[in-house]
């Protein structure tokens, strides 16, 4: 077994650990890009109903799949959807379907670490493409599709692209992705990971789901952990051609999504007010933080998600530890090869005010 090839995913700090270490009661967790809110309708469903905890959940939750299909549009139906224990599980199914020890996966530099972990588990060779190096571009350090293209070989079987991307927060227009996909060899599959898609202005651009009928090797993944506020329940989904979904289902355990996750996802999808409020809160938090970054002359990367990655330079460890002592947890990015940056998730107004106050104190700035 090639266990030396395997790398570990380091999650954001655990609340209990920080509480214990610094003897702080209230922790503000801005390290894992969670929604600070939960839909009241989901909470009511969980609190006010009797649940059949003794029974297995639906193995094929077709009602939820139909609701998802209707919600995403583009003439998708329930057979275009596969549900997963988080969208991470779908990424894993696709890696298992497409990669083995004689193949290569292309992963853009600074991508979500899970891509590398699951590709290594398949013993595939990992080829890292260069990031966008244009400092004046909103896509700075994001995906450079030309570099990805230049890395394609006869062994390439899978390309991972998050759009918008974590941790760079950058976004590539769909028209560019479309022409990129049109240039690929038949054997190459592509994942467009849209875990943060709902934070984009819906009128600005279409989802890559709109290209599924055009490209037979295209997979799109979506998450309920972000704008739908269900990270703890672990549920996400993949969208592709009916034929591809049938193949992915061969890797799925019969009961991979649980009862609460299935029902909560259904409720959250239909709770449009909650989703709109979450987006509004995110926009306000983002604008307020950008304003402060500008005042403090702090450079930041893309702003298309529910977090912002900002440049701290040599002081990044010191700032991280300073915030930790004040009970505010953000994400260091050394294992994303962005050691001079920190990533902060966008929380409630109160959480953001606490973060901004400490940032001002750390820099001893007058604003």
Residues near ligand PLP (CB under 6 A): 33, 86-88, 112, 162, 166, 193, 195, 223, 225, 231, 236
Instruction: Answer for the pair 92, 221: CB distance below 8 angstroms, yes or no.
Output: no
| Minimum separation from the CB atom of position 166 to ligand PLP (A) | 3
Nearest distance from C-beta of residue 115 to ligand PLP, angstroms: 9
For ligand PLP, the closer CB: 166 or 358: 166
- Count CA atoms within 13 Å of residue 232 on its CB side: 8
Q: Which residues pair with 28 in a beta bridge?
A: 328
User: Quick one: 236 or 302, whose CB is closer to ligand PLP?
Assistant: 236
- Residues forming beta bridges with residue 81, ordered by sequence position: 239
Of 195 and 328, CB closest to ligand PLP:
195
In angstroms, what is the minimal distance from the CB of 223 to ligand PLP? 3
Pick the closest to residue 230 from 259, 261, 256 (CA basis): 261
Q: Using the minimum distance from each CB to ligand PLP, give the nearer residue, 87 or 256.
A: 87
Q: How far is CA 79 from CA 242, 258, 266, in A?
A: 5, 20, 17
Q: Give the shortest CB-164-to-ligand PLP separation in angstroms.
A: 8
Q: How far is the CB of 230 from ligand PLP (least distance, A)?
A: 9
Q: Which is nearer to ligand PLP, 96 or 187 (CB)?
A: 96
The whole-angstrom separation of Cα 347 and Cα 355 is 10
Per the DSSP assignment, residues forming a β-bridge with 310 are 300, 342
Task: Write out the DSSP string of 231-292.
Answer: GGG--EEEE--HHHHHHHHTT--TT-S-HHHHHHHHHHHH-HHHHHHHHHHHHHHHHHHHHH
Give the nearest residue (CB) to ligand PLP. 86
| Closer residue to ligand PLP, CB minimum distance, 274 or 304 | 304
3-class state of residue 353 by DSSP: helix
Q: Shortest gap between Cβ of 189 and ligand PLP (angstroms)?
A: 17
Length of the chain: 367
* Residue 69 or 261 having the CB closest to ligand PLP: 261
Rounded to the nearest 10 degrees, the angle between the axes of helix 40-48 and helix 259-270 is 140
Smaller CB separation from ligand PLP, 156 or 223: 223
How far is C-alpha 6 from the geometric centre of its chain's CA atoms? 21
User: What's the alpha-carbon Rg for the chain, to the nearest Å?
Assistant: 20
* Nearest CB to ligand PLP, comparing residues 117 and 174: 117
- Tell me the closest approach of the beta carbon of residue 42 to ligand PLP, in angstroms: 16
In whole angstroms, the minimum distance from the beta carbon of 308 to ligand PLP comes to: 14
User: Residue 70's CB: how many other CB atoms inside 10 A?
Assistant: 12
Alpha-carbon distance 84 to 219, whole Å? 14
Write the CA distances from 160 to 104, 198, 206, 304, integer angstroms: 11, 19, 19, 18
CB of 235 to ligand PLP, least distance (A): 7
């Amino acid at each position: 077994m090639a266990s030396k090839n395997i790398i570990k995913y380091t999650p954001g700090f655990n609340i209990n650990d920080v509480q214990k270490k610094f003897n702080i009661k209230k922790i503000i967790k801005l390290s894992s890009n969670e929604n600070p809110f939960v839909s009241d309708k989901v909470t009511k469903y969980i609190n006010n109903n009797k649940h059949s905890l003794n029974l297995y959940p639906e193995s094929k939750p077709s009602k939820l799949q139909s609701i998802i299909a209707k919600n995403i549009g583009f003439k998708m139906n329930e057979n275009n959807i596969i549900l997963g224990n988080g969208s991470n599980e779908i990424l894993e199914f696709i890696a298992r379907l497409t990669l083995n020890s004689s193949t290569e996966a292309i992963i853009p530099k600074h991508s979500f670490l899970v891509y590398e972990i699951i590709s290594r588990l398949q013993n595939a060779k990992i080829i890292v493409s260069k990031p966008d190096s244009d400092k004046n571009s909103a896509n700075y350090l994001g995906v450079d599709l030309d570099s990805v293209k230049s890395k394609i070989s006869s062994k390439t079987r899978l390309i991972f692209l998050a759009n918008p991307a974590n941790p760079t927060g950058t976004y590539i227009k769909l028209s560019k992705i479309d022409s990129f996909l049109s240039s690929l060899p038949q054997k190459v599959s592509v994942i467009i990971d849209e875990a943060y898609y709902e934070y984009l202005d819906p009128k600005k651009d279409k989802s890559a789901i709109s290209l599924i009928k055009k490209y037979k090797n295209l997979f799109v993944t979506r998450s309920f952990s972000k704008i739908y506020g269900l990270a703890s329940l672990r549920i996400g989904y993949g969208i592709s051609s009916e034929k591809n979904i049938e193949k992915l289902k061969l890797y799925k355990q019969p009961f991979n999504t649980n009862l609460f996750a299935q029902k909560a996802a259904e409720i959250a999808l239909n709770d449009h007010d909650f989703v709109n409020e979450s987006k509004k809160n995110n926009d306000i938090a983002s604008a307020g933080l950008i304003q402060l970054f500008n005042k403090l002359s702090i450079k930041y990367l893309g702003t298309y998600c529910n977090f912002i990655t900002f440049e701290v330079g040599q002081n990044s460890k010191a700032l991280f530890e300073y915030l930790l002592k004040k009970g505010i947890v953000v994400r260091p990015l050394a294992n994303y090869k962005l050691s001079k940056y920190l990533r902060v998730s966008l929380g409630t107004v109160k959480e953001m005010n606490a973060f901004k106050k400490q940032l001002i104190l750390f820099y001893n700035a007058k604003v």
